[in-house]
Structure 1
Amino acid sequence: MSDVGGAATVLGPVSRVRLHDLIRRPDGAEWIVGRRETRTFVAVPEEGIKVIQLLERGLSVGECSERLMTETGEEVDVADFVHDLIALGFVAETDGRPVDADTVRPPTLPRLRAEHVRFLLSPWLPLLPVVLVIAALVTLIRHPELTPSYHDLLWSDRGSVVILSGAVVGWSIVLLHELAHLAVARATGVPGRIGFGTRLQFLVVQTDISGIELSSRRHRLTAYLAGIVVNLVGAAGAVLLLPVTVPGSAVHRLLAATVLWALLPLTFQLMVFMRTDVYFVLQDLTGCRDLYGDGRAHARHLARRLLRREGPAADPSRTLPPTERRAVRIYSTVLVVGTALCLAGLALFTVPADVRLVVRAVAELRAPHTGPDLADALLTLGSLAAIHVLWLTTRWRNRRARRPS
């Protein structure tokens, strides 16, 4: 039974259901089916697709069962399958009664329509960033003195100026990065939504493009890689402007810092153990449905096995196809090692750096100071506090949203 309009719903042979508009595509021996409005997508077997097609044609539950028995010679529990569809939010009505609708979160930039950004799917568009990156590399080869170093990040003697300028330029690049994901997804008909998230100790901006799974592989990979391309284009553009600025000037130093602010986030993208853009590319190319979830389950199994709480037969990856199972087991090692190294970096570098900034800012507040010194200390403390509070509230909110009601 399912709850419809607050009451339990019993489906009989004569029951008829009306489904929401569902999209689908074949995926090996199964089909990916879902609603773009609610961003809910599942894999169903061939029999499930046949049931959905028959229901969409207006057949009752009993008629669907009889038709499938005639065509396949197998008995299918259509009523139980429909209950699953109701739980997923795929059913609009049962016997003329509306089903309680899931809350549909509005997409980001709802006025941005697919026809506005369809050009992003052109197979020729990637040539532009390739040309810009090659031109930037040629510039650095001809003028190696223009190659930015970590010193360029500290382009001001005041910590507050460094933090604020990094925040303005860095977060602007982040926003453009996420808008690129959103625009490409929107071009394929996927609504998309931008919001905050957390990855271990990192506060991130992320774009939910659930539904891109139903697009062609070229469009999926374009959506996954669009943000990385924006970073590369931003860095390449800054490099190409460096030769026309005066070395040592504020503009020159800011451009050099911009190159690093655009490129440094790409190292984060390589951390596939945190479901970054490269992770989704890897998941797609390996043909895995849930590389992170399956990899984490396999890692937990290995941990329990080391503690002698489980035997080899309990390995959840054993049920996966051979190619997918191999990818999941390799990824589980990357997941464990990467997470351990990332947390070690937090303890050894990030926390001590934050503590040093706080101690220095507090010392400036306690000692005789000028107006700029006071402003520098307050901005430093305020920026660090804002980042950590935002991380905590984002993590709490996302965990609460995932908690079953």
Structure 2
Amino acid sequence: MRIRLRELGSRYDGGGWIVGLMSTGQFVALDEVGKRALDLLGEGWTAAAVTARLREETGEDIDIPEFIEALIDLGFVAEVDGHEVFSEQQPKPILAWIHPHHVRWALSPVVPVLIGLLLAVTLFIRPPVELSYRSLLWSSHGSAVIAFGAAASWLILLLHECAHLVTARATGVPGRIGLGTRLQFLVMQTDISGIELAPRRHRITAYLAGIATNLAFASLTALTAGTVDGAPRRLLAALTILALLPLPFQLMVFMRTDLYFVLQDLTYCRNLYGDGMAYTKYLARRLLGQKGQRDPSRVLPPHEQKAVRMYSAVLFVGTTICLGFFAAVALPADIGLFTRALNRLGSGHSTGERLDSLAVVVTLGGFHLLWLRTWWKGRRAKV
């Protein structure tokens, strides 16, 4: 058996290699023997020849046909014995017209320096803007406050995700923006699978690009607000608060936020969330008295074992608090609001009350349906 591999990228990662396809975001960790086998197959060696060569080099019999099957499942193989291997067509990247050379500047070390200077100027000047919840109530008309807040929040969120997309695209990663779920939250997220092959500085830059964008946006609006008066100043103050509000969410690393990926990279872990979840389930089964359970963290390198066990505590506590708050406060409030709105849709209520109730039913119901659809779309294959 002889195969032809697709154009794979690779990067040495401590005790092994990260190998994969940047176009599909499929990656795998290989040890030295696996990387050697992959290189020989890529040079056109047959499976039998690779098996014999590795037996000479390692003294072990490596199951190369099984290894090739795994490569095919990952989409790494283009041909087997001259026959083309079918590969699912990947969705086109968003904003495909943006090429790496267009946005190479995003990886320049000058960019974080400029953002740091902007933040320093903002903190030093201290513009006369009240950075409190009162700034969000910029108008006496509640509908105007809500409409402006919703539109501005989605705009800032889109800028946040585009920052991830642009920095990832600068490294050659396609990147795709879409909706996702984090526990009970509906979020916009950018898939930058493929960044694993980039140098560490570029990876960290891509992970922190969204936070940096929020901070830069808030600094610019705060500085501008200090130069105007009246309604423009109130609107800019509200924009400043709206840009800063999502940042505490990033600290919730148990939900794989931007800072989670920074933490995973700095701890040299390959799948901190997945390994942490597996270790948490292992501890839960032990507490329930289930015997014969094997510690899944034992197969990890020593430095990863420590990081995974510490992260599992954060994962358990954070998830428990988050879901507990949702079950005790948010969900009952939504159910109560939705039920009351349904009751007011019937006769006996004024036209204004019915229109208000209809808006609540459509908005609240639509949001939860969108969350369910997004959640199901992400888990449909597993189910």
Question: So what's the TM-score if we normalise by structure 2?
Answer: 0.92
* In structure 1, distance between residues paired with 2:165 and 2:296: 34
* Long gaps (5+) in structure 2: none
1:21 match: secondary structure: coil
* In structure 2, distance between residues paired with 1:134 and 1:379: 44
Query: Aligned pair 1:174/2:157, yes or no?
Result: yes
Change (3 A) 1:346 1:251: farther
Q: 1:272 — aligned with what?
A: 253
Q: 2:32 — aligned with what?
A: 46
* In structure 1, distance between residues paired with 2:377 and 2:25: 19
Q: 1:12 — aligned with what?
A: none
Aligned-partner residue type, residue 255 of structure 2: M
Question: So what's the TM-score if we normalise by structure 1?
Answer: 0.88
Query: Aligned pair 1:211/2:187, yes or no?
Result: no
1:111 match: secondary structure: coil
Aligned-partner residue type, residue 307 of structure 1: L
* In structure 1, distance between residues paired with 2:257 and 2:315: 12
1:330-360 Cα offsets, whole Å, 9 max, x none, are 1111111101111222234433554576578
Change (3 A) 1:82 1:359: closer
2:189 match: secondary structure: strand
Aligned-partner residue type, residue 298 of structure 2: R
Change (3 A) 1:348 1:194: same
* Long gaps (5+) in structure 1: 1-14
Contact 1:272 1:278 survives alignment (8 Å)? yes
- How far has the Cα of 1:245 moved from its partner? 2.3
Query: Aligned pair 1:287/2:268, yes or no?
Result: yes
- How far has the Cα of 1:393 moved from its partner? 0.9
Q: 1:391 — aligned with what?
A: 371
Contact 2:23 2:194 survives alignment (8 Å)? no
Contact 1:192 1:207 survives alignment (8 Å)? yes
* In structure 1, distance between residues paired with 2:339 and 2:223: 39
Q: 1:261 aligns with which of 242, 254, 273?
A: 242
- How far has the Cα of 1:81 moved from its partner? 1.0
1:152-189 Cα offsets, whole Å, 9 max, x none, are 22334454433322221001111111111011011001
Q: 1:109 — aligned with what?
A: 95
Contact 1:160 1:377 survives alignment (8 Å)? no
Q: 1:149 — aligned with what?
A: 132
Contact 1:108 1:192 survives alignment (8 Å)? yes
1:183 match: secondary structure: helix
* In structure 1, distance between residues paired with 2:343 and 2:63: 71
- How far has the Cα of 1:102 moved from its partner? 2.3
Q: 2:297 — aligned with what?
A: 317
Identical positions, percent: 52
Query: Aligned pair 1:184/2:167, yes or no?
Result: yes
1:232-259 Cα offsets, whole Å, 9 max, x none, are 111111111121222xx33222222211
- How far has the Cα of 1:385 moved from its partner? 2.8
Q: 2:2 — aligned with what?
A: 16
1:314 match: secondary structure: coil
* In structure 2, distance between residues paired with 1:356 and 1:231: 34
- How far has the Cα of 1:69 moved from its partner? 2.8
Contact 1:158 1:376 survives alignment (8 Å)? no
* In structure 2, distance between residues paired with 1:362 and 1:267: 34
Count of aligned pairs between the two proteins: 381
